[in-house]
Each structure stands twice: as C-alpha cells, then as structure tokens.
Structure 1
Amino acid sequence: MGPEATVTFVGNATTLLRLGAFTLLTDPAFGAAGSRVYLGWGAWTRRLRGPALPYPEMPRPDVMLLSHLHGDHFDRVARKAVPADLPIVTTPQARRRLRRRFPAARGLPTWDAQEWSRDGQTLRITALPGRHGPGPVDRLLPDVMGSLVEWAVDGQPMLRLYVTGDTLYRPFLGEIRDRCGDIDAMLIHLGGTRLLGLLLTMDGRQGADLTGLIRPRLTLPIHVDDYRVMKSPLSDYLTECRNRSIPGVRPLTRGETVTLAPITTG
C-alpha cells in the first residue's frame, strides 16, 4: 500500500492534512465555544462551536497554511500554541505582521509557490487569487489568498487540492482552473459571513457558483457555522448544488478524517 492523503476536519477553517510524508495545518483556531475573536475595525464575533481537537493532541505540522490574518483563522489560543519556528505560508501582508513572533513565515504573492522535498516526495503550495470583500470594502479587510496544494511521489502527481480561503465568488477565479488544470479536491470556505449587512464570505449560492466553475472531483465544505457572523447554513449550499446537479460534494463532521483520492494518471 502506497502513501496516503487524508484531511481531518477540526472546525471552522482548521484542518489537518496528511499528505504522505508531509503534515499541514490550515487556518488554526482553537478557542473554545463561547470565546470571542476580533475581526478588525472594532468588530468582534463569538464562537458557537468549539474545535474537535486541541492543538496538543495533533501531530506537529511541517507547514502551517494561513489564508489570511483574521481572528477566526489564527486566534489567540493558536498563536500561543503554534511553535515560533513553524514555517507559515501566507499572504505578504500577513507575513509582515507575523514576522517578529513567527520568523519562519513566508508571504507568497499570487501565483508564486514554495516547495519542499522529503523521501522522494514533493509538496508544493501555490498562492491563488481571492477577494474577501465586495468592491472598495475589500481594501478595508486583510488580504486573502487561496492555495493550490500539490503532492507528488517520485515525480508522479498524487493530489491537487484547492483551499479557497475566505474569498467571495468572482468570475476571475476561473483562471485557477485555466492555469492549474483539473482539481482533485477542494476545501471551500462558506458561511455567508456578514458584517454591517455586507457579504464577506461565500453563501450557498456563491459557493455553488465556484464549485461549478472549478469542477473538482471532490468538494468538502468548511467554514460554515462556527461563529455568529456566519449567516448561510450548510443546507443552503447543499440545496444549491443539488438543484444544479453538481457532483462530488461531501459534507464533513467535526473530527472526521476523509481520504483524498489521487488524480488519475496515464
């Protein structure tokens, strides 16, 4: 049996990816239910559902993938728990804010990549475009990136995973498929987050728009119902996908581990 690729859903946008020889942690938030996180510009939100696992019970990651620097994606509990020397791949803006506490953070401009090799295996992370807010409001929010996570064994591609980050749906995201080719799996950030009536993350309709645009073989919805600012339940997205006959959508439960199927090669 060859090396495997799995994802464990911890909560919100926090997942643990085991890709053969590599372990990745995404958007760590480990605050308990009832805790508050700061979203900037005087805005706070309260966590409704706690994480499935605390950080000390998880294997030490090789890399942390941070889509953007918001309190619900890298909270105070996570900042205290994550080792200062852990490599972090994030936006250039977030890297500037993290570099004193986390000197191994690396900021990737859109379409730039970082690569690691170990035991004949390769991990490559490419920064993808994203937009957190509508119109000019986006300039008031942290820069956000999607990520293409590629894993290969002995030069053979095994998995191509798209992590959307907190982007809204925009047609320019079609460039991801144009540049990157077929996507095996997608971790899609949903929730329909709203502040002052403004939509800041994809709701069910926008999520279905992006899923239909990217056409991954497997889509795993996350970032749905952890915080009060999330207004679009998972059922909105599942209904939209069902009405459009979009295949490959699979809901996750907290603490669940799912095998990510490798791409077909020939």
Structure 2
Amino acid sequence: MTSLELPPGGTADFTEGEVYFIGNATTLIRFGGLTILTDPAFLHEGEHVFLGHGIWARREVEPACQVADLPPIDLVILSHYHGDHFDDVAARELDKALPIVSTADAVDKLNGLGFERGHALDTWESLEVHKGDATLTITAMPGKHATDDAVNDLLMPVNGHLLDFSRNGDQLYRLYITGDTMLVDDLEDIPRRYPDIDLGLIHTGGTTFLVTVVTMTGEQGVRAVEITKPRTAIPIHYNDFSVFLSGLDDFKKAASTSTTTTKFVYLAHGETYTFTPNG
C-alpha cells in the first residue's frame, strides 16, 4: 500500500462530518480535518461538455458553487476522466498541486493538463492518506461503464472508491462512492470484502451513450444499494446533464418498494448531509 502525507492544519473535528452536494457527482466531503472534492465539474447551466465520440451534453442544473467558493482542498477523488466529472473549469481553476486519486487512464490524461500529483489505483488497490491524527484509506472499488464489452472498450475506465476514515488506528467511518458503474457481478464482492459501509453515494441518471445506458438507472441504483448494504444511501448524478434519462423520481420509486434496511437520504444541490462517526 502506498501512502501520502499531508501537512497538518487547524483543529481536526472527529465528532461529525459532512457531505455537501454541489451537483452531478461533485461533492465536498469533510471529516477529521480532511477536505475531499469528488468528480469536480463546475460548468454553468446551459453550457455544453464534450463526452467523446462526437457526443456533447448540455448542463441542465446550475452547480451549487464554483471553485473560488471552495475551502482549501486536501485531495480530489475522481471516478474517471469524462467531461461531466472533470470539466474545463476544473482543469483551469483547480490547484495543479492537488493530489488526485483515480484510474491510471485519468491520471495520465490529467498529467498532460499539468496535474502531476496523480495516484492511480487498480481495483482493490489502496492509498493511505495521513493528516495529523487522521488516516484516510482510499481503496478502488470495481466499476464498469457499460455491460456491453464492445461499448465499454470505447469508454473511459472507471473506479468506484471506498473511503475508510480512522484516528490513531481506530476505524471511525466507511463511505462508498459507486462511480459511474453499471450493475456488474464484481459489486457482489464489495460487502464480502468491506462490510459495514456507513454511507453510499450512488451514481445514477441512466446516462445514454449512443443507444446504450452507461450509468445506473434509478432502479439499478437501488439494486446497487441492496447489494452493497450501506446503512445510509444518497443518490447523486441524476439530473445535471441532457444525456440523463432516469431522474431522481425513478430512484425514489424503486426505494419505496425495496426491502433493504438502508436509510435513503435525498439532497438537492447545495444541501448538506451531516454524519456522526462510529463509537
């Protein structure tokens, strides 16, 4: 396992943490003195992003904030290198010295943009991040952008990520981010290897690529929750771009008939979920 040392700064709060929903898959996670930005995309409503292979998507919802509004960031966690997850605004305005954890494909492309502190993880590989008394272990989770192998080969490699927060060796909180995956068999391995997930951030939206769905629909997102078994689940990535065909209502409908014991929480852009660590 590789490690990353961050300079200590300020007083670390281990009594509670928060997830601030900026929009699409962009969130700000704060706990134990660590501030983590996920999948940074900040284009304004009405602007367009290039997704590759001649496909453009229009941003339909304004993000809750811009890069200039963010607090100091310790690191970025990126599912994959697509324009709705790392856009031109992020490339232009984020600090090039930020550590970015992602796929090898994304790290290589970001290096070409001047982001030279990339940390590439293959599935089940981990990076240990230290800041003061806090340790964050980031482990790449299985993900696949399409169930059709021919289509998947046209798309970027995808990681989900598991975030394990601990203090002086004591495990405090486990957070799972699906990334832009479909319902693949490897998801079944996650609860066997990593049980007791406290919170799941579930990428949905039913994104269409050509004629194929390449992110989970609302119904599939709920099934991913049933498989991975987080105590609480929050759907994200559900209405921000014109290529999304399965909105939040689809997820809510499926959740209302699910037999899972998971608690579902719904955030609008700009809202915050506050959590209390174990023990």
Asked if the contact 1:184/1:261 (under 8 Å) is kept, the reply is no
Distance in 1 of aligned mates of 2:54 and 2:268: 32
Distance in 2 of aligned mates of 1:249 and 1:3: 22
Distance in 2 of aligned mates of 1:170 and 1:110: 13
Give the CA deviation at 1:212. Answer: 0.6
**What's 1:9 paired with?**
21
Matching residue's letter, 2:75: V
**What's 2:277 paired with?**
262
Q: SS of the residue aligned with 2:186? A: helix
Give the CA deviation at 1:174. Answer: 1.1
Distance in 1 of aligned mates of 2:55 and 2:137: 35
Distance in 2 of aligned mates of 1:191 and 1:94: 22
Asked if the contact 2:233/2:263 (under 8 Å) is kept, the reply is yes
- Residue 74, structure 1, aligned to residue 97, structure 2: no
Give the length in aligned residue pairs: 264
Distance in 1 of aligned mates of 2:178 and 2:14: 28
TM-score by length of 2: 0.92
Distance in 1 of aligned mates of 2:30 and 2:138: 14
Distance in 2 of aligned mates of 1:164 and 1:15: 13
Structure 1 residue corresponding to 2:214, chosen from 170, 185, 200 = 200
Q: Over aligned residue pairs, what C-alpha RMSD do you find?
A: 1.2
Matching residue's letter, 1:130: G
Give the CA deviation at 1:99. Answer: 1.4
**What's 2:238 paired with?**
224
Where has structure 1 moved over 6 Å in runs of 4 or more? Answer: none
**What's 2:162 paired with?**
148
Which residues of 2 match residues 62-211 of structure 1 at below 5 A? 62-100=74-112, 101-136=114-149, 137-211=151-225
Give the CA deviation at 1:2. Answer: 4.2
Q: Percent identity?
A: 41
TM-score by length of 1: 0.96
Q: Could you say if the C-alpha distance between residues 185 and 79 of structure 1 is closer, same or farther in structure 2, counting changes exceeding 3 Å?
A: same
Distance in 1 of aligned mates of 2:14 and 2:133: 13
**What's 2:7 paired with?**
none
